[in-house]
Chain A
Amino acid sequence: MMNEDELVTIEIDKIKTRIPKGTTVLQAARSLGIYIPTLCYHEALSTYASCRVCIVEMSIEKRGKLRTWIDAACVYPVQEGLIIKTNSPRVQKERKLIIEMLLSRAPDSPALLELAELYGAQKGRFESIDKGESNCILCSLCVRVCNELIKSGGIGTAFRGIHKKVVTPFNIAQDVCIGCAACAYVCPTGAIRVIEEESRLSIENWNAKLEIQFCKECGKPVGPKVYIDKLKEELNLRDELYELCPQCRRKIYRKFVEVSGG
């Protein structure tokens, strides 16, 4: 049961509602079906609030004065009396510019081009320092997933400001990379290139070249050897299971299940 003390009254896009204290503006908007674009936000990872695409216009009355400001919805917590405009003229104008800045970094990104259309942003209006070659918007989702969730720590940021990049230390392939490709999975612009060849998985951006392990039973590719080695460390399963592909594994499980009468 929600304690009355834990709810605050806010107004979002003219809708008055009661939201639990501590909820972010983004979560509050989503719960009401209001769309706010995001790029560097992911539910499973810590917030970074760097892309600034989710900015909204907020106002609150304090001591008789109305204070208005712009801030990122993905981190800002609701408070009593907060008035939010997710798509005011000021927000639209600034969001359009931010998308244009991001397009200067990732001109070919489908996700960005979609946002551009939504907000009337122009591709090619600005040129960034690397001329958009990397297609990277420095949202750092890849870094966060690698370090916080997978906990391999193969990639990180280097340098600062306009020279900031996501790299492996010294641009050398890291032993700790297990080729899970979670980085590519979370990347909003498709800047991380994963190439699957016959016996090798490569992640070009990190110079990672990983040998694939094949299924002992059927010969199909299972995954990078180092990935499976890591699973061996973390999970406590029968040795033989690591040598098989998912389908063959299931066949073995069925046998176990039948035998144990479950």
Chain B
Amino acid sequence: MSIKDNVITKKVMSKEDLDTLKEEGKNRIFPDSLKIAVQMATCGRASGADKIYNFIQNEVKDKDIILENAGCLGLCQLEPMVNVFIPGFNPVVYSNVSTDTLKKFIPSWISGTYIKENILGQLGREYYEELDIRLKSPPGIKKITENGFFKKQKKIVLRNSGFINPFQITEYIARGGYYSLLNVLNNFTSEDVIEEILKSGLRGRGGGGFPTGVKWKYCRAAHGSPKYVICNADEGDPGAYMDRAVLEGDPFSILEGMTIGAYAIGSSEGYIYVRSEYPLAVGTLRNTISEARRHGLLGENIFGSDFSFDIKINRGGGAFVCGESTALMASIEGKVGEPRVKHIHTVEAGLREKPTVLNNVETWANVPKIITKGYEEYVKIGTEGSKGTKVFSLVGNISNNGLVEIPMGIKLREMIFDIGGGIPNGKKFKAVQTGGPSGGCIPENHLDMSVDFDELTKVGSMMGSGGMIVMDENTCMVDVARYFLSFLVEESCGKCTPCREGTYQLYKILERITKGDGQEGDIELLEELSEMIKDASLCALGKTAPNPVLSTIRYFRDEYEKHIKDKKCPAGVCKALFEYRIIENKCTACGLCKKHCPQNAIEGEKNVPHRIVQERCTKCGICYSVCKFDAIEKV
């Protein structure tokens, strides 16, 4: 038993105890009165979800209505979203809600009806398959899985995000949570667990794609004590936020996964290293770890067994390099995030020189699910070399922006045009960037490729952590390479010469090219430097740093040549290589551009087409974006 806030909690010791909590969770998820759950992850809040939450809180004050918190369902651009639970019916998800629309929605929900506006869909049986409950389908409302964005997705890691209250352990248990851990403690030896993960084919989801079972096997066999498990929640790839969704939407799945992993390798101490830019995730984890301890599912004698395991949280300090495993461990040890030599494997000598298993958030989240149905079910999903699903952040110039979880092997075309809904504003697809700053661009002619670890590597990119940034025809690929290198220059730890000086030189050359000072031989120089940096750098940050350059040269060499030889940027991005011009016969002299120009670089009187004074223009683009008549062009 444990006491917190004068509430005595009975520790979970058996399946019966778990079943009791499961029942509690079921009643929380599907209460007898109207329940409204607001999706309150960081992206929800950035869209105004807290205002929505506060508004509803006021509205439901004296009524028998329950207001809850849910994580993130993944279709972030349509937030704020709420899940409406009218007793006896499948929950219904409303998107783009505002206080105005809620004013009419809430009374209708109270009366048991659904106003058919802004409905994303209803959540079906797959969201409560573990529960003994019968719910009716609200008439005239499509299942959410019929929505183009959700249709081809397969939710394993994200099955609870955006649905359950992430802070409530009973709701996690109601979804089958902690039954895997119980099963493991009762029926599996450590070796059995490792065997199961090995056979599942699970590969690291952080970017390396290393077979998880093999990693655990080596660590178990390594000499040294104590042993550690670490969760890498440093998610530094710009454009990737899959891990954040799990940390804020389904944190108990990570705790359960790590506990199973600790049991497998013989560890009793775990760490979660969360980047400092995710304060909500840190808060959520602190809360859930405390809850798990309270219930005896973390700490001494878990489930009353003789297995003990506890977790500490370490916050990152704003350094991308700390996503690299040895740099992360150095950071936990109170040092600067400089990686160590890589031929010493961290499974043998990792944190504090002890055997350590470090895995990514998504990898850990998969573990309990593999145990639930067994590896045989897991291997049915995915391809030969890449089993299971992968969560991607599908962002950029794409109609449906958000997090998607797909079975490995789906075609890239399906991801972009079916799930993603294609390119908005009538623009053409140009490339998709995967693998973050360590990855590469994939052009149109590879759209029919399968998305999995090995296929992505073959075309010169990589899976990475799952960032998938779609770029349309108005993206300059040379500028993209320059952008990634500017990032890597700032994030290099500075230890080894090839990365520290090499990425800087790559960046300077790309900067020159985008400023119109490209020279004959620049492409060859970029390639020469890239080869050395790939070979001679100490760690993976350096070794993969040239990838954005090499892949854009591979597929868009002509664009580089236009910049260097013709001093032109075809996409209209590199400021030195194009001009903004007002199209005389389209200009209505409304004066809007002149008003907004921060440099006073636009001249023109009433009824006379305006003119941009090029010498004063800084190419900020404000005029271009405010003109309502399409009267400004890039030349």
The answer to A–B direct touch (Cβ < 8 A) is yes
Which of A's residues lie within 8 Å of B, judged by CB? 47-53, 55, 69-72, 75-77, 90, 93-94, 97-98, 101-102, 104-105, 126, 128-129, 137-138, 157, 159-164
Which residues of chain B are within 8 angstroms of A53 by Cβ–Cβ distance?
497
Which residues of chain B are within 8 angstroms of A101 by Cβ–Cβ distance?
497-498, 501-502, 505
Contact check, B497 vs A52: say whether CB atoms are below 8 A apart. Answer: yes
- Measured in the bound complex, the distance between the Cα atoms of B562 and A175 in whole Å is 58
Q: Is B346 an interface residue (CB 8 A)?
A: no
Stretch in contact with the other chain, from B17-25, B79-87, B476-484, B526-534: B526-534
Taking the closest CB of chain A, its distance from the CB of B323, in whole angstroms, is 14
Q: Is B601 an interface residue (CB 8 A)?
A: no
From B491, B501, B503, name the one whose CB has the most chain A CB atoms within 10 angstroms: B501
- Measured in the bound complex, the distance between the Cα atoms of B336 and A77 in whole Å is 25
Taking the closest CB of chain B, its distance from the CB of A147, in whole angstroms, is 12
Contact check, B500 vs A138: say whether CB atoms are below 8 A apart. Answer: yes
- Measured in the bound complex, the distance between the Cα atoms of B500 and A104 in whole Å is 12
Taking the closest CB of chain A, its distance from the CB of B30, in whole angstroms, is 51
Contact check, B494 vs A163: say whether CB atoms are below 8 A apart. Answer: yes
Contact check, B343 vs A94: say whether CB atoms are below 8 A apart. Answer: no
Contact check, B536 vs A160: say whether CB atoms are below 8 A apart. Answer: no
Option from A52, A105, A137 in Cβ contact (under 8 Å) with B536 = A52
3 interchain residue pairs of minimum CB distance: A164-B494, A101-B501, A161-B492
Q: Is B575 an interface residue (CB 8 A)?
A: no
Which residues of chain A are within 8 angstroms of B492 by Cβ–Cβ distance?
160-162
Contact check, B496 vs A50: say whether CB atoms are below 8 A apart. Answer: yes
From A51, A77, A98, name the one whose CB has the most chain B CB atoms within 10 angstroms: A98
Option from B341, B504, B529, B531 in Cβ contact (under 8 Å) with A75 = B341
Which residues of chain A are within 8 angstroms of B531 by Cβ–Cβ distance?
94
Option from B489, B494, B536 in Cβ contact (under 8 Å) with A55 = B536
- Measured in the bound complex, the distance between the Cα atoms of B536 and A52 in whole Å is 7
Taking the closest CB of chain B, its distance from the CB of A140, in whole angstroms, is 8
Bits for B583-604, please: 1 = Cβ < 8 Å to A, else 0.
Answer: 0000000000000000000000
Which of B's residues lie within 8 Å of A, judged by CB? 319, 321, 336-337, 341, 343, 489-498, 500-505, 528-529, 531-532, 535-538
Q: Known A97-B528, A97-B529, A164-B500; judge A52-B505 contact (CB<8 A).
A: no
Contact check, B343 vs A70: say whether CB atoms are below 8 A apart. Answer: no
Which residues of chain B are within 8 angstroms of A49 by Cβ–Cβ distance?
341, 496, 538
Q: Known A94-B535, A98-B536, A160-B319; judge A104-B336 contact (CB<8 A).
A: no
Taking the closest CB of chain B, its distance from the CB of A210, in whole angstroms, is 29
Q: Known A71-B343, A75-B341, A93-B532; judge A98-B497 contact (CB<8 A).
A: yes
Taking the closest CB of chain A, its distance from the CB of B461, in whole angstroms, is 21
Contact check, A162 vs B501: say whether CB atoms are below 8 A apart. Answer: yes
Contact check, A126 vs B501: say whether CB atoms are below 8 A apart. Answer: yes
Instruction: Identify 12 residue pairs between A and B in the complex whose beta-carbon atoms are under 8 Å apart, listed by A's number.
Output: A50-B495, A51-B496, A51-B497, A52-B498, A55-B535, A75-B341, A90-B535, A126-B501, A128-B501, A160-B494, A161-B490, A162-B503
Which residues of chain A are within 8 angstroms of B532 by Cβ–Cβ distance?
93-94, 97-98
Option from B489, B493, B501 in Cβ contact (under 8 Å) with A104 = B501
- Measured in the bound complex, the distance between the Cα atoms of B501 and A53 in whole Å is 13
Contact check, A126 vs B493: say whether CB atoms are below 8 A apart. Answer: no
- Measured in the bound complex, the distance between the Cα atoms of B535 and A93 in whole Å is 11
Q: A101-B501, A157-B336, A160-B493 are in contact. List 13 more A-B contacts (CB 8 A).
A: A48-B495, A49-B496, A49-B538, A50-B538, A51-B497, A55-B536, A98-B498, A101-B498, A129-B504, A159-B494, A160-B319, A161-B493, A164-B500
Taking the closest CB of chain B, its distance from the CB of A1, in whole angstroms, is 26
Taking the closest CB of chain A, its distance from the CB of B543, in whole angstroms, is 10
- Measured in the bound complex, the distance between the Cα atoms of B495 and A47 in whole Å is 12
Contact check, B500 vs A162: say whether CB atoms are below 8 A apart. Answer: yes
Considering only CB atoms, which chain A residue lies closest to B499 in the complex? A161
Which residues of chain A are within 8 angstroms of B504 by Cβ–Cβ distance?
128-129, 162
Contact check, B341 vs A126: say whether CB atoms are below 8 A apart. Answer: no
- Measured in the bound complex, the distance between the Cα atoms of B343 and A73 in whole Å is 12
Which residues of chain B are within 8 angstroms of A160 by Cβ–Cβ distance?
319, 321, 336-337, 492-494
Which residues of chain A are within 8 angstroms of B497 by Cβ–Cβ distance?
50-53, 98, 101-102, 137-138
- Measured in the bound complex, the distance between the Cα atoms of B536 and A90 in whole Å is 11
Option from A48, A75, A129, A138 in Cβ contact (under 8 Å) with B343 = A75
- Measured in the bound complex, the distance between the Cα atoms of B344 and A47 in whole Å is 14
Taking the closest CB of chain A, its distance from the CB of B202, in whole angstroms, is 22
From A48, A51, A52, A157, name the one whose CB has the most chain B CB atoms within 10 angstroms: A52
Taking the closest CB of chain B, its distance from the CB of A199, in whole angstroms, is 38
- Measured in the bound complex, the distance between the Cα atoms of B319 and A69 in whole Å is 28
Option from A77, A98, A138 in Cβ contact (under 8 Å) with B494 = A138
Taking the closest CB of chain B, its distance from the CB of A261, in whole angstroms, is 53
Which residues of chain A are within 8 angstroms of B503 by Cβ–Cβ distance?
162
Which residues of chain B are within 8 angstroms of A76 by Cβ–Cβ distance?
341, 343
- Measured in the bound complex, the distance between the Cα atoms of B319 and A71 in whole Å is 25
Which residues of chain B are within 8 angstroms of A97 by Cβ–Cβ distance?
528-529, 532
Which residues of chain B are within 8 angstroms of A94 by Cβ–Cβ distance?
531-532, 535-536
Which residues of chain A are within 8 angstroms of B493 by Cβ–Cβ distance?
160-161
Taking the closest CB of chain A, its distance from the CB of B479, in whole angstroms, is 20
- Measured in the bound complex, the distance between the Cα atoms of B494 and A137 in whole Å is 11
Taking the closest CB of chain B, its distance from the CB of A67, in whole angstroms, is 13
Taking the closest CB of chain A, its distance from the CB of B341, in whole angstroms, is 5
Considering only CB atoms, which chain A residue lies closest to B321 in the complex? A160
Which residues of chain A are within 8 angstroms of B343 by Cβ–Cβ distance?
71, 75-77
Which residues of chain A are within 8 angstroms of B489 by Cβ–Cβ distance?
161-162
Which residues of chain B are within 8 angstroms of A69 by Cβ–Cβ distance?
535
Considering only CB atoms, which chain B residue lies closest to A47 in the complex? B341
Which residues of chain B are within 8 angstroms of A48 by Cβ–Cβ distance?
495
Considering only CB atoms, which chain B residue lies closest to A140 in the complex? B495
Which residues of chain A are within 8 angstroms of B319 by Cβ–Cβ distance?
160
Which residues of chain A are within 8 angstroms of B341 by Cβ–Cβ distance?
47, 49, 72, 75-76
- Measured in the bound complex, the distance between the Cα atoms of B498 and A50 in whole Å is 9
Taking the closest CB of chain B, its distance from the CB of A71, in whole angstroms, is 7
Which residues of chain B are within 8 angstroms of A52 by Cβ–Cβ distance?
496-498, 536-538
From A53, A138, A162, name the one whose CB has the most chain B CB atoms within 10 angstroms: A162
- Measured in the bound complex, the distance between the Cα atoms of B498 and A93 in whole Å is 13
- Measured in the bound complex, the distance between the Cα atoms of B495 and A104 in whole Å is 16
- Measured in the bound complex, the distance between the Cα atoms of B505 and A72 in whole Å is 22
- Measured in the bound complex, the distance between the Cα atoms of B505 and A98 in whole Å is 12
- Measured in the bound complex, the distance between the Cα atoms of B532 and A93 in whole Å is 8
Contact check, B491 vs A161: say whether CB atoms are below 8 A apart. Answer: yes
- Measured in the bound complex, the distance between the Cα atoms of B496 and A138 in whole Å is 9
Taking the closest CB of chain A, its distance from the CB of B326, in whole angstroms, is 12
Which residues of chain B are within 8 angstroms of A159 by Cβ–Cβ distance?
494
- Measured in the bound complex, the distance between the Cα atoms of B491 and A104 in whole Å is 20
Considering only CB atoms, which chain A residue lies closest to B501 in the complex? A101
Which residues of chain A are within 8 angstroms of B491 by Cβ–Cβ distance?
161
- Measured in the bound complex, the distance between the Cα atoms of B490 and A164 in whole Å is 11
Which residues of chain B are within 8 angstroms of A47 by Cβ–Cβ distance?
341
Taking the closest CB of chain A, its distance from the CB of B528, in whole angstroms, is 7
Taking the closest CB of chain B, its distance from the CB of A116, in whole angstroms, is 14
Contact check, B538 vs A105: say whether CB atoms are below 8 A apart. Answer: no
Considering only CB atoms, which chain A residue lies closest to B502 in the complex? A101
